[in-house]
Structure formats: C-alpha cells, structure tokens
A = this chain, B = another copy of it.
Amino acid sequence: MPVLSLTVRLVLASQSPARLRVLRAAGIDPVVRVSGVDEDAVAAALTDPAPADVVVALAEAKARAVLGDLDADVLADAVVVGCDSMLHYGGDLVGKPATPEVARERWAKMSGGTGELLTGHAILRVRDGEVVDTAGGTESTTVRFGNVTPEEVDAYIATEEPLAVAGAFTLDGLGGWFLDGVDGDPSSVIGISLPLTRRLLSGLGVRVTDLWRSTR
C-alpha cells in the first residue's frame, strides 16, 4: 500500500545553521541531512568546468548523497535541496581563513573592495522513493565590503566568527556591520537563495507556498 503523504517535504542537504535559519525565517521547517561528499573528487571528475558548473555539480552531489539517509515516508514525496557557494575576490577563489593571521590578511585586502559570491543549487524531485526529476541553477551576487579599520578587524577576529566562514565574513552576523551592501540576492550570500530555489521548485511543479508551515 503506498504511503499517503499530505504534502511534499523539503529536505536540506546541508549542515549550515545559517541556511537552516534562512529557511525557517522564510516559513519552512526542512528535514535536515548532512552529506559527506568528497568535494575534491566531485570537482576533479569535471572536464575543464566553469565555476557555475562546479557549484551545481557539488550541490547535486550533496543532494544525492543524503537520499540513503531519508525515511520512506519522506522519500514518498520530497524535494531534496543541495547548495554550494564560492567567493571570488580579485580573481582568486577564497575559502575559510582558518587562522587569525589569514583572516587579518584577507580583510586588509578586501576592505573597501568588492567580491563575487556564486551560489549553486540542485533540487531532486523524489516520489515513491525514486528521483523523477532534477533542476539546477546559479545566482551570482556582488558583495561590497566597507572600509574597515585594523582595530575593527582585530575585534571581529577576536569573536572567531570570520575564521569558520568562506571569505571571512557573514552577512547575517557580526560581519553585517562591515558590508556596505550587495548587488543581488542577500539570501544567496547567506548560503541559500530563496528566489532561485523558488524558481527551480516551480520548474519541478512544486509551489513554494505549499511548503510553508502555516499552510500545512
């Protein structure tokens, strides 16, 4: 007997608390599963890929990796969302700084400049345990860094917030003081683009409003 599902569930294939906060603030309580994808291996399997190809491939690999961790009642009717982001500054790909010294160097360069944040999403449409359709796309956003003093950078690094995040900044935390603005989608800078996710879902025949908790 098929499992009756009243409504489609959204699965977030990410351990990022920032992405989860964005979704919850936007009315969705997702099922959260963390993928253990070997990102280097996925990227290495692509032939001469553009950055957009890389983030979408990684997003899809993450989404597919969590399928085995989902219960049958979720797999009966779900959309599984994978996400990947990369920040470019001055032509270079910028990751997590890891140490205070690297974070300090980054901010000395970034202060007063602009970076490009590329976010990729892949969504798997799952019904009765099978992936029946997929959609993927990217969003590019310009981030404008404020003119930050060495004293401000030191105080920011002392909080440890910038050490664990790509690009050594957040938009939705303490880093918000040091960003003069964005040209593009702010939610994609935090890690999950709401308008791109909505458009991809629509292409898969799913209305985002049907995923909101208030309509369940």
Residue numbers of A with Cβ under 8 A of B are 22, 25-27, 141, 146, 151-152, 155-156, 158-159, 171-174, 176-187, 194-195, 197-198, 207-209, 212, 214-215
Contacts and interface: CB of A to CB of B under 8 A. Distances in A.
B183 A186 contact: no
B209 A146 contact: no
The 4 closest A-B pairs by CB, nearest first: A155-B209, A186-B186, A181-B185, A176-B194
B151 A178 contact: no
Nearest to A196: B180
Contacts of A171: 186
A186 B195 contact: no
A177 B159 contact: no
Most chain-B CB neighbours within 10 Å: which of A26, A195, A208?
A195
Given A27-B174, A173-B26, A181-B184, A155 B195 contact: no
A180 B197 CA distance: 11
A41 to B, nearest CB: 33
Contact of A181 (B22, B173, B183, B215): B183
B152 A178 contact: no
Given A186-B186, A207-B152, A215-B155, A195 B173 contact: no
Contacts of A185: 179-182
Given A174-B212, A177-B195, 20 more contacts: A22-B176, A27-B159, A141-B181, A152-B208, A152-B209, A155-B207, A156-B209, A159-B212, A176-B195, A177-B194, A177-B208, A178-B195, A178-B198, A179-B185, A179-B195, A180-B195, A181-B184, A182-B182, A183-B183, A186-B186
